[in-house]
Structure 1
Amino acid sequence: MAVNIGARRVLGWWLLALLVAAGFAQLGRWQLGRMHEKQAMLAAASAALDHAHPQPLLLASDPARAQGYDWAAGRGTLLAATVWLDGQQREGRVGVRQYCLLLPDDGAQALLVDAGWWPLAGSRELPQAGCPAGIGQGVRGLLAPPPTPGLAHGDALAKQDGDRWLASRMELAALAQALELRVAIAPRVLRLAPQREPGDTGVMAAPGERDLDILPNTMLPERHLGYAVQWFGLALTVLVVAATLTFRMKKKAK
């Protein structure tokens, strides 16, 4: 009877150990998947930046390229509305990103333009800068997916004074409705080139801090790899502990 009770206990330990180890291993596989996804994003963005000839802005509206990256340039009419995206970090500093809306000359949809990052003081007072509205504005930059919305809390958009809006997350359909646009907003945004050239005017000369960092507010692939190794290590540790306890129990029974 004692032997049967001991065997059942060992079996119970192993079932629990296998379940826990499988859970840890699944988390490790998820981290590896995220690592590969972000490595692919960085590779695609790098390939786009190496492209010698800019693509037309119309490519931002292509649903098949919604998650892709392309270097693009063109002209259009910039609207007066300014959207500040909250919770944006840069080199460890907290701030907001300025977004403007462009109606491209060669496009059927409005294009959201990332005009740069601005620091945010403790008072959380938004910068006084606004999008330089005007027609025939030339732009160039990287067409990229919009910032990920993250966890949804409250309204995505809140009107400030005048034509200024504060967004907690970028929901393109809600933004188009709030701004009463007659056209939809393209599924990709244009991140303006960081380098300002002598002939730049309008939004290309705007003073915000610009960059083409693809993963500004999230973990790099190396971090995901580190977490994956930790989860797989925990899975192995659980199995080693279960094997050690089983060995000790059998030795004690003898």
Structure 2
Amino acid sequence: MSRPTGNLFGWALALLGIALFSSLGVWQLDRARQKEAMLAEAKTVLSARLPLALSAASDPLRATAHDWAQGRGHFTSAPAVLLDNQGHQGRPGIRVFRVFQSDGNAVPLLVDLGWLPLPGDRRLPAIGNWPGPRSLAGLLAPPPSAGIASAVAVPQADGNLLVTSLDRALLADALKLPALAPRILRLDPAIGIGYARDLEMLPNTLPPERHLGYAVQWFGLAIAVFITALVLTLRTHRRRQHAAREKITP
């Protein structure tokens, strides 16, 4: 391979790396903007707490939005849904969800009842139920991000489901339901049922500042690749000039 061809190949690899790192930086910036907008929306909703009906959880036009909601209904007899790999105050555990049917013909929704710790042997704790009609209130929100984990629902000995993500289609099938609302209800901590919980908006995920930090790192790598390629090109050019001068020197 000739030197000019080698230089072109090197620059092709460098430009590929620059494009990759830059795209990752742009993606991290976009994630930061999305989370900043989400936090601002949730702060407004939590400050006002103007309630919608629980049936708003099934509104497809607001599947990614946040709303305060309240209403009456009952927890169904469906198994509890236990979301695995959920940290709280530095401890590993699960988040407990149960299916709630609001009064009327609304699509049932999952209610986030809070967090429970897991011991070292990962033995699942007993999960309570709260039968009978009751009033609930809380924050309607999209389910936690699934990340890169594949959706898996594993039935346990007590009939409950241990899951890696809240995949609606998978859960509806496993719970023998025709459908589940696209949003969950993050239960108001003031309601005296369930487990440890709050309305923290970014549990088990990165805040906007971390995404900005990663964006800076990716853009920094893109710049470093460009500078490295430029320096190597200049060095090669100088070596060629030096070799050319030596050839013509008598």
TM-score normalised by the shorter chain: which range applies? 0.7 to 0.9
1:189 aligns with 2:176: no
Q: Which runs of 5+ in 2 are unaligned?
A: 243-250
CA distance in 2, matches of 1:6, 1:82: 66
1:40 aligns with 2:62: no
Aligned to 1:63: 60
Aligned to 1:228: 215
Match of 1:156 among 152, 156, 164: 152
TM-score, scaled relative to structure 2: 0.87
Aligned to 2:246: none
Aligned to 2:90: 92
CA distance in 2, matches of 1:25, 1:53: 42
CA distance in 1, matches of 2:9, 2:202: 44
TM-score, scaled relative to structure 1: 0.86
Aligned to 2:47: 50
Q: 2:21 is aligned with what amino acid? A: F
**1:96 touches 1:117 (CA, 8 Å); kept in 2?**
yes
Structure 1 position 67, deviation (Å): 0.6
CA distance in 1, matches of 2:30, 2:153: 32
Inter-CA distance 6–107: structure 2 relative to 1 (3 Å threshold): same
Q: Which runs of 5+ in 1 are unaligned?
A: 197-203
Partner-residue secondary structure (3-state), 2:80: strand
Give 4+ residue runs of structure 1 displaced > 6 Å after superposition.
Answer: none
CA distance in 2, matches of 1:8, 1:166: 56
CA distance in 2, matches of 1:248, 1:180: 68
Q: Bigger CA drift: 43-52 or 21-30?
A: 43-52
Aligned to 2:248: none
Partner-residue secondary structure (3-state), 1:229: helix
Partner-residue secondary structure (3-state), 1:142: strand
Structure 1 position 163, deviation (Å): 4.5
CA distance in 1, matches of 2:237, 2:171: 67
Higher strand share: 1
Aligned to 2:119: 121
CA distance in 2, matches of 1:192, 1:156: 24
Q: How many residues end up aligned between the 2 structures?
A: 240
Inter-CA distance 76–225: structure 2 relative to 1 (3 Å threshold): same
1:176 aligns with 2:163: no
Inter-CA distance 250–124: structure 2 relative to 1 (3 Å threshold): same
Q: 2:32 is aligned with what amino acid? A: M
Structure 1 position 51, deviation (Å): 2.2
Identical columns (%): 46
Q: 1:127 is aligned with what amino acid? A: P
Structure 1 position 151, deviation (Å): 3.5
Aligned to 2:132: 134
Partner-residue secondary structure (3-state), 2:170: helix
CA distance in 1, matches of 2:230, 2:162: 56
Match of 1:206 among 182, 193, 216: 193
Structure 1 position 125, deviation (Å): 1.3
CA distance in 2, matches of 1:69, 1:52: 11
Structure 1 position 193, deviation (Å): 1.3
